[in-house]
Amino acid sequence: TLQMLIENAVKHNRMSIQEPLLIKIYCNEKCLIVENTLQAREDTAPSTGVGLQNIISRYSFLTALKVEYGEHQNCFIVHIPLLK
């Protein structure tokens, strides 16, 4: 899951020395959180959402807890429930 989220951030955002792509990975009591700056590439097709949908589908087999994601203050943030 973590690898897929990092790959999605790289796929959908531009990055350079002048504009580094910042990805934060951290946890709270309930979730693994992956947050990246939004720097949309100009040369890509619109997102199909397949990567995130795959993660959501896989988690639905394991738990009733929901994967949450969205944009907030120029960042894209994904909350992945921690499983015990």
Query: What average pLDDT does range 52-76 have in this prediction?
Result: 94
Using the predicted structure, report yes or no on whether residue 65 has a pLDDT greater than 80: yes
Q: Which residue has the higher pLDDT, 41 or 34?
A: 34
Cβ–Cβ < 8 Å for 53, 5: no
- The confidence score (pLDDT) of residue 45 equals 63
pTM of this structure: 0.87
Q: Beta partners for 76? A: 36, 71
In 3D space, the residue among 23, 27, 21 whose CA is nearest the CA of residue 79 turns out to be: 27
- The confidence score (pLDDT) of residue 44 equals 67
Sheet of 68-72, strand order: 23-27, 31-37, 75-81, 68-72
pLDDT category of residue 40 using cuts at 50, 70 and 90: confident
